[in-house]
Chain A
């Protein structure tokens, strides 16, 4: 190592005190050098995994990989930690091809490269093969409005079917602290107690799916994920879905970003509040709809065999609509559908009501 060349103490990495600080951590404003930032980020994900005993030795776990920054960082960090701490877990990449030209086809190329870079098996499940409809053809049929409902329902089932195909019962996703904080606020805004109860859980398994989902990045800031990807020179795809432009610029998201600017710890603080809420919801309100369906008994969809509380599962119901070439049926998302996906309709509904951006954001 080269001798420190008169780096003023104020410019030194606050962790190792040996090299010049290059990064101001978005979470804490701590000034760190690149190496210390990367290792701190990894240490926090590791701490999350260990404290929740997320993985068991010898298991196979699928990483829901879209080629975007979150899932790419997740795959990279999990590979690093698996080797460093010897988790003894076999990670597999699982991608969904929604069939969106100019978006998903490009991002899937990224995932294919990631599979080679990380030495992980990759399985791609497409809407086309599962449902006979690509999102391109769905949008052609029903228009852009409301297409996210179809995509959300289809994706959930596709992930489950992909995992099933791999003989895997645990899928990790790249949801980060910003996503979770946003979901906590959204669930408060719409008064959804069952979702408020479970949206901060690191791992969720529900009666409507045999596959457990978990979020190892639940305490990782979006900004730090971007920094990690940047400094690790990770190969990721950064275009937003062409059918939901600004899907992530709903009012709750804007609020989170404004709060982060005022107090960087706010995102983590909201997650913490969300974890407290989860323990503060009376048991009868924790699972209203899910419990109802449990009482009436989950059964298999008479058409495709997927678990459902109805005769037909949500995907088959939507497919019926599509196949009859009817305009979009008003569908409220069923209990158990993943929070982030389900919250998108309200999120979009509230988009109109953005914060006076010039007033709050800068």
Chain B
């Protein structure tokens, strides 16, 4: 394919920028790694469950590496570290091709001034898979560049040189990378060298401890909330409690004279306070009386009614064979999922300083490029002069794909001429979240004479996930008219069934809904895999055999079959209730990563207890198996928290609850005491990890409950309707 050929040559067409003087000697900056495919292909890539390639700024020079004078490598990561372990994985990839030891690599978040700005986002489980090729290629190129300079300085033929831990040796001489880089002004840019073969990997594939482990264990100030700037003031923004509130006017008189207040900032769309301390800003904020236009009478029932299949627009996202004709033997089940909050523990916050025509924004963000663009646009600044300095994220989960608070802090900073730190209260976090939309699913199935499905249909409705998001242009969020986020997990994966159809409905809600880790996957898989379980029971077949029989034979199908078999085997899956415990099975494919889970469940005092979860997942090549296990464990627990406990309500036009506790989440006591993870490798490149394990957990638990009690639970969060 002509297209593919161009791709393979793309690195030789790259531009390099070699730039010195970043405070260290021997600074090497490597410029734009060109990826020429249009954004559209990226979007379609996600839609088609292929891993998205890394997408960076085209034609912009950027800094990836610095070689420091003490012979370490600084790697400026365009991907943010939010717990998913990306920094560790990319350090392993870079160390491998650079031939340095792990502790010679320090990964930092790329500030937007380095030029290394990810124009998409940290999300979608794409960081490691997307950087897999380009980062190793860039690392290998840097190694060759350093070797060439060393060859000149050492007066040894480059082919006679070898590197161990950043020390170049040949012909009895040695030179460090730092010495090789020192004073070089014009670098010769090589072609992409041959990359290491898998059998030679020293770091890739090893369960190396997280590179940020010490910082996180000893309490280093690494998060957005810890950021400061000299002479900093504190800001607060008045936020409405009612859904759909539009700012009308504000009475700021009382607040103006309160202690510590520096300035009240009234804009067209918000009112902010700048004060000497956070508590003073908060108190003054409470004294501002704002008139809002809002909906008063909204409640959860109205939202549920809106969110019903048949409402809004629909599009068929998958179809094969015929629709149901004989209505008699069709089994229909309906499922629902509630509004979900991100509830990340670090509130959204930012420190902004607008200084003349430039700005510095320190922030926990998943979208450096978007944050920069929005600040530049609203304050009428040149984007190049807005330096977004990302920090470690105290949880991302999709919440930090929206950062309008950066704009508000920048406006407040401009108004007072000083840096302003501004962060959300917990109540504001809960009421102004960009929620996981509620969903409704109608699933129909019909068994044939052999007890397998002759037809399967999934109709589902969701609020916005990707649609209407600032992150991707609206025109690109639609795949055949459907929301690319909402449809994650909504496809039928049992494509050996002769007739199937998936249709996605879209309803716009009166409050913001958006990206929540794994997007539609959590609810869609809960519904689909619960239904499959019910059909297996109806057909009187083992749930695992029933699934395996109806999966087709494409490569992804075979990987799905393998994880299903591996999970069943590892968990010793069986369908008997033993010692008041039952097992539930479920599987899903997300972003080309198949995952199967077995949940072992009992019921105590009418509460669902999850004792053990077995996870089998095939993420392709495991760059860091320990962190992949950690993601599986975390997804199981976050997933069970969402499917067993979490739920936002709408009461009298307000989103509620607004604090942990009433917003019930899994605690230590609820977490399974055993989580057994089996990793398979069904392909030789790394795939998605951070979201796929969220898919099966809901149905796995519900299916176990079905076997324990006979009750088919169809609504999240899962609650037993009768005493057991």
A is bound by B? no
